[in-house]
Structure 1
């Protein structure tokens, strides 16, 4: 009798095994879950999980995209956030990758699934602060983003190029992750909080429930240093007045924005990447009414040639089908 049960169990296992083999779990890493760029990636995963049979994306939030990109290239992750500027730096082994000698070679293992707007960088103070413009930051405490990350370097660069103020010399750039930096501002422990996001941003909805805020612009956003900072992949972006109940700006505030993207392992199966790309763009309209930021997403921008990063063949197949690329 025992032999019969074992034989039957083995037969069942063999019958189930092919079905299990067809299931594919992809690992995605993104930045702090509360940030709009991370919400976009989580939305991507949710849509894929709902519409692509046999494929599931598991999302983990936290950490820096600059490190996640390395892990994707090493094969420890399947998808992560990327950006044109950061990918170019990785390919050349510069800035945050200067101490990672294998970075240029690893960059070859990363391909693009899509670009999407990161949103304007919001340089934020309480409404009763004496800091009226970015030029007033001298002596203040500022959260620019996690040290060494792309957001940190971008925010620091905008301040330096527009005002000449240098982090660590003219003002203190605190060392904190996204959650800690946000909480420090909420608790009144720092003067300035910086984050990029697609409005309306959850962070500012939450902040303005208890305090009024003001977004900062530089006294001037023109000049050679600014143009060099913006380069080919960043652009001036205005933050409109009246976005939040506690926002005191009476007119648009000029800042800057950029694109970020979803990067994938270069050796991820072409059909898999095609299927998840198609599923997202075919169904993202279903969330637009509930998520105003999703209206900023555009399939026409998704495959733009931004920097050195190349489209994954599976993604390229989809964008070719819909006429976005030749």
Structure 2
């Protein structure tokens, strides 16, 4: 004799189980990164695209200030985010932009890393005809140094200070805008100079040479060994880089350009499931050919650079993949 009530109940349990499985596999994880056109954005999108191949679906929220994204990540409000090595110590110590954030030192311990990469270099740019042909010519001029709430503006101003001795607000006017507004302000002549972190070979920098000529200032050779400059190179996520001036069409500075390089990493937090991070990490490295094809500067991402500038412990899921794949893991990055 059939028991229709029992059959119906069993079918309901099966349907609920199937729905739960589908929901788990279709979970959307939140991710935050910089604006479109920024190398940090390019790398994060490449990571998210590869992660999706393993069923880890990351909704990318671009155009974010990374100081806030890292705090949101540390609090567990988002799962994945672009991370700035120089901000880790500031958050841990409740300094500068985190000075009024009561829980910053406590939640900083939740930060975990997935992989690091060389993002690009600071490009000090002036247009031909601006009257600025050397670092000293910045005196009395308006200079875009970065967004109001980010760390890039402080770094740009430190670079100018070390080379010229000039102070923002005294010797020149430091203008802080969003990244997109900075590009437009220089193109429209509203500012005289822009100091912009960008990938080497950036299309956004190149565009100034498509309609005219421009200069990228090189760090003077006699300043490279300066104690303060070496300290700037030695900060977390910083270093010296060099590239040829003729890399960009219309660029007037001849020879090799010495620049302040910047490095970042893709981060997560301790509360994200180990299997999720493992699958995302594995998919990224197994799809490295696709990553390399997506942007020229990403060809520098290799297993040898996986831990570049990473200054928080690896997430257990990422660590599991690197151990299985035989990566050379620094001891200080083991949780």
Which residue in 2 is equivalent to 1:59? Answer: 60
Q: Which runs of 5+ in 2 are unaligned?
A: 1-7, 330-335
Tell me, yes or no, if structure 1 residue 276 matches structure 2 residue 277: no
1:16 pairs with 2:19 = yes
Aligned to 1:86: 87
Match status 1:159 vs 2:164: no
Please tell me whether residue 302 in structure 1 is matched to residue 306 in structure 2.
yes
Contact map agreement 1:141 1:174 (CA 8 A) in 2: yes
SS for the counterpart of 1:242 is: helix
Q: Which residue of 2 aligns with 1:39?
A: 42
Distance in 2 (alpha carbons) for counterparts of 1:30 and 1:290: 17
Normalised to the residue count of structure 2, the TM-score between the two structures is: 0.88
| Equivalent residues in 2 for 1:87-166, closer than 5 Å | 87-166=88-167
Equivalent pair of 1:90/1:107 in contact (CA under 8 Å): yes
Task: Measure the CA separation in 2 of the matches of 1:135 and 1:98.
Answer: 34
Aligned partner of 2:73 in structure 1 is: 72
User: 1:235 and 2:235 equivalent?
Assistant: no
When residues 36 and 262 of structure 1 are mapped into structure 2, their CA distance, relative to the original with a 3 A threshold, is: same
Instruction: Tell me, yes or no, if the aligned pair for 1:162 and 1:222 is still in contact at 8 Å.
Output: no
How many residues align? The count is 318
Listed as ranges, the gaps of 5+ residues in structure 1 are 1-6
1:174, distance to aligned residue in structure 2 (A): 1.1
Give the SS at the match of 1:144: strand
CA-atom RMSD, angstroms?
Answer: 2.2
Q: Cα gap change, 1:199/1:229 in structure 2, threshold over 3 Å: closer, same or farther?
A: closer
Shift of residue 200 of structure 1?
A: 1.7
On the 8 A contact 1:144/1:156 being kept in 2, the answer is yes
Written as runs of structure 1 = structure 2, the 5 A alignment for 1:149-188 is 149-188=150-189
- On the 8 A contact 1:48/1:56 being kept in 2, the answer is yes
The residue aligned with 2:271 is 267
Distance 2:273 2:70 in 1: 18
